Amino acid sequence: MTETTTVAYLGPAGTFTEAALIRFQDAGAFGPGEVTPLPVNSPREALDAVRAGRADFACVAIENSVDGAVTSTFDALVEAGGVQVYYELEIEIAFSIMLRPGMALEDVQTFATHPVAHQQVRQWLAAHIPGARFVPASSNAAAAEAVAEGRVDAAAAPDRAAVLFGLDVVARDVADVAGARTRFVVVGPRGVPTPRTGADQTTVVFTLPNEPGTLVGALTEFSLRGVDMSRIESRPTRRAFGTYHFYVDLVGHIDDAPVAEALRALWLRAEDITYLGSWPVPPTPGRVATDLSRLDRATDWVRAAREGRA
């Protein structure tokens, strides 16, 4: 009997998230057997499907190079807990502008896409359909579907959406920022992290006592151990005004002793802390794989001293 893995993603078919899901599947991220895509209306719904057992994994966007972190995804990762990141990849983002067959660009009165995508095509819109009213959609493919159903006149979406919904493409490779990229991750139930590769990322979210110097003290735990932070961001906890979650991406794996020691020290300082996983990341210019050989030699020296051999 063939094993089937259900993966929730921002639908309908034709989104960049679906394209990421297919690439994850080709890379074997979901294991052997068939993959059944489960389209949902938001990243939060995708994560909730994993928590409820309706999906084995979720594929969600977490950051793009134009607007930064996808805050709705990060909030959803933390607020209900119970999930963890296992894999990551990046996709270059460029849009196609699509209309119903027989319609001309000068006839466009309304334009739809996802709000994040809207920020990435604003210059093109201003140059070609400046009078069009923006209608936000739950996804880029949902915008294409709205065009096909006659609810809006034009959409920005992946080229595949035009094929799926029978639309005409009037412009391709539209992107105000050339080479814009979006990071997608595979999220599943809590479990053993993806094995260490030497080119990994660890992400934690924590809150601190509202006292002078607590953030500086917490971040010092990383610098003292030579653990590099590739990103830090704060988001309101929504529990009380002026309280924040701190999201930190670390270079390294929880199986790296410096990362593990820094997280242990952070646990002692934090009011609460959530581990979102350690997973392999794509090659990044200037990012060097973690070399633990010197630390291993230091450990051997301490062991020898304890045994009277130093």
Enumerate the domain spans of the chain: 1-92+181-191, 95-174, 192-310
Instruction: Give the list of residues 6+ apart from residue 37 with CB closer than 8 angstroms, or none.
Output: 6, 7, 9, 11, 13, 18, 21
pTM, full prediction:
0.86
Q: Does the structure show a pLDDT above 90 at 239?
A: no
C-alpha to C-alpha distances, 306 to 148, 268, 293, 296, nearest whole angstrom:
74, 27, 20, 15
Q: How confident is the model at residue 254 (pLDDT cuts 50, 70, 90)?
A: very high
For residue 203, which phi and psi values (nearest 5 degrees)? -125, 135
Q: How confident is the model at residue 81 (pLDDT cuts 50, 70, 90)?
A: confident
Fold of 1-92+181-191: D-Maltodextrin-Binding Protein; domain 2 (3.40.190)
- CA distance linking residue 310 with residue 43, whole number of Å: 55
- CA distance linking residue 39 with residue 73, whole number of Å: 16
Locate 310 and state its tokens: 């130093």
- CA distance linking residue 2 with residue 66, whole number of Å: 41
Q: According to CATH, what is the number of the domain 192-310? A: 3.30.70.260
User: Which pLDDT score is estimated for 66?
Assistant: 78
| Mean pLDDT value of segment 262-283 | 93
Do the two domains 1-92+181-191 and 95-174 of this chain adopt the same fold? yes
Higher pLDDT, 294 or 120: 120
Q: How confident is the model at residue 211 (pLDDT cuts 50, 70, 90)?
A: confident
Q: How confident is the model at residue 99 (pLDDT cuts 50, 70, 90)?
A: very high
Residue type, 237: T
C-alpha to C-alpha distances, 88 to 204, 234, 299, nearest whole angstrom:
16, 22, 32
CATH H-level superfamily of 95-174: Periplasmic binding protein-like II (3.40.190.10)
